[in-house]
């Protein structure tokens, strides 16, 4: 299978054109319609690529945005054209009141698509309620189906409850994606086993390049390899599905599979030209790129009495100054250490 490349370095033969007029746009003309909302930096796993096992520094509770502050920000972003909201963490369900918060988010005018990213450890107990609020989808982080490997990667023995969440979501027909980080020691057999979930079920299994955000001193180089070439070697009959819609994943059909496979090349940053998302960290910082040093202190504005109009104008100005791509943002940031992914919301 031939690799498709163009001058933007992402696999879409017809890059989308963005509408003119109202909405939230950066200086490259990309329209922002997707908000990732990290509601906590706490997590019940200690994945080795995300944070150290001990000595984790958490934000004090008073520094985390309150639910009413988060809801106010979502309403402001929706007034600027955001229509998709994804609630992340840390692990979002470790925060008390997460489910009622999701129920209230669903009622905010403009939230057309509501999603959750979770590690699945305690999520199964909430699945019926998530169906009731008409959640549009769940992403479950799952890097292996091998019990010993799971314990080694996450430093916790929770594979069984995670699989209960996966199976429960499938049984309830909640749209499901499995996010699997490919590590240096991830075997072809593990990739095959995870892909098997999509063979039997109409779900997406997406293999993700390891990112540098590990809460430790920055590594000089990450050994990721080429996920596309590897997937094509393991599954030589795959066919890539192209789309004009903004997406971070390259999606592939496999003959005989009910679902599909994908790769997310976040470290390579091959999808920047199509990126339509911004993030709010648990501490209320707006990030217009995963690799930036945080662009706007929304918590300070909220707690210093700024009205919605002032916050909206600050967001528009901030997004206008968004970096062209993640490589540019990384060069500008010049960090000696990397934050944990749990601190920035994935």
Q: Which domains does the chain have, with CATH numbers?
A: 34-344 (3.20.20.70)
CA distances from 145 to 47, 142, 173, 193, 206 (A): 15, 8, 21, 7, 14
The distance of Cα 173 from the centroid of its chain, to the nearest Å, equals 21
Between 161 and 3, residue with greater pLDDT: 161
Residue 9 has pLDDT above 70, yes or no: no
* DSSP secondary structure code for residue 34 in this structure: E
For 86, the 3-state DSSP assignment is strand
Mind listing the pLDDT tens digit for each residue in 191-219? 999 999 999 999 999 999 987 754 454 55
Region 102-124 average pLDDT: 98
What span, in angstroms and rounded, lies between the C-alpha atoms of 210 and 225? 10
Q: Which of 9-13, 158-162, 238-242, 271-275 is least confident?
A: 9-13
Residue-level pLDDT at 219? 53
What span, in angstroms and rounded, lies between the C-alpha atoms of 115 and 188? 30
Q: Strands 34-38 and 84-88: what pairing?
A: parallel
CA distances from 95 to 6, 58, 171, 294 (A): 43, 13, 25, 23
Region 69-97 average pLDDT: 97
Q: How confident is the model at residue 257 (pLDDT cuts 50, 70, 90)?
A: very high
For 213, the 3-state DSSP assignment is coil
Residue 304 has pLDDT above 60, yes or no: yes
Residue 117 has pLDDT above 70, yes or no: yes
Residue-level pLDDT at 17? 40
Residue 280 has pLDDT above 60, yes or no: yes
Residue-level pLDDT at 214? 46
Q: How confident is the model at residue 39 (pLDDT cuts 50, 70, 90)?
A: very high
Length of the chain: 346
CB atoms within 10 A of CB 330: 18
Q: Which of 83-87, 106-110, 141-145, 319-323 is least confident?
A: 319-323
> Are the CB atoms for 215 and 50 separated by under 8 Å?
yes
SS3 annotation, 159-207: HHHHHHHHHHHHHCCCCEEEEEEECCCCCHHHHHHHHHHHHHCCCEEEE
Residue-level pLDDT at 22? 64
Q: How confident is the model at residue 254 (pLDDT cuts 50, 70, 90)?
A: very high
pTM: 0.86
CB atoms within 10 A of CB 129: 13
Residue-level pLDDT at 249? 85
DSSP 294-312: --EEHHHHHHTT--HHHHH
Residue-level pLDDT at 52? 82
CA distances from 205 to 46, 82, 144, 194, 324 (A): 22, 26, 12, 7, 29
What span, in angstroms and rounded, lies between the C-alpha atoms of 247 and 141? 18
Residue-level pLDDT at 290? 81
Mean pLDDT (the chain) is 86
Residue 95 has pLDDT above 50, yes or no: yes
């Amino acid at each position: 299978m031939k690799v498709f490349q163009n001058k933007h370095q992402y696999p879409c033969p017809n890059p989308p054109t963005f509408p003119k007029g109202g909405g939230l746009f950066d200086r490259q003309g990309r329209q922002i319609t997707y908000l990732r909302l990290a509601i906590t930096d706490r997590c019940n796993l200690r994945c080795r690529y995300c944070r150290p096992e001990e000595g984790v520094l958490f934000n004090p509770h008073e520094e985390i945005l309150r639910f009413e502050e988060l809801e106010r920000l979502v309403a402001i972003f929706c007034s600027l054209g955001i229509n998709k909201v994804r609630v992340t963490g840390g692990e979002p369900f470790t925060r008390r009141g997460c489910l009622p918060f999701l129920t209230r988010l669903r009622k905010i005018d403009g939230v057309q698509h509501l999603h959750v990213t979770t590690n699945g450890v305690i999520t199964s107990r909430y699945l019926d309620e998530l169906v009731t609020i008409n959640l549009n989808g769940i992403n479950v982080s799952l890097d292996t189906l091998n019990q010993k490997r799971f314990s080694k990667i996450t430093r916790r023995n929770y594979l069984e409850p995670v699989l209960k969440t996966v199976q429960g979501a499938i049984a309830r027909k909640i749209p499901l994606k499995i996010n699997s980080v490919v590590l240096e020691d991830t075997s072809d057999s593990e990739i095959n086993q995870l892909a098997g979930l999509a063979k039997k079920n109409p779900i997406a299994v997406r293999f993700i390049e390891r990112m540098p955000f590990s809460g430790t001193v920055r590594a000089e180089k990450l050994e990721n390899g080429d996920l596309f070439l590897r997937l094509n070697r393991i599954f030589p009959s795959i066919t890539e599905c192209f789309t004009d819609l903004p997406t971070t994943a390259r999606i592939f059909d496999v003959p005989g599979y009910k679902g599909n496979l994908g790769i997310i090349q976040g470290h390579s940053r091959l999808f920047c030209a199509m990126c339509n998302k911004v993030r709010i960290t648990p501490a209320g910082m707006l990030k217009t790129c995963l690799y930036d040093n945080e662009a706007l202190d929304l918590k300070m504005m909220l707690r210093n009495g700024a009205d919605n109009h002032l916050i909206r104008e600050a967001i528009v100005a901030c997004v206008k100054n968004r970096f062209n791509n993640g490589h540019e943002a990384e060069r500008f940031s010049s960090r000696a250490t990397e934050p944990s992914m749990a601190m920035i919301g994935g």
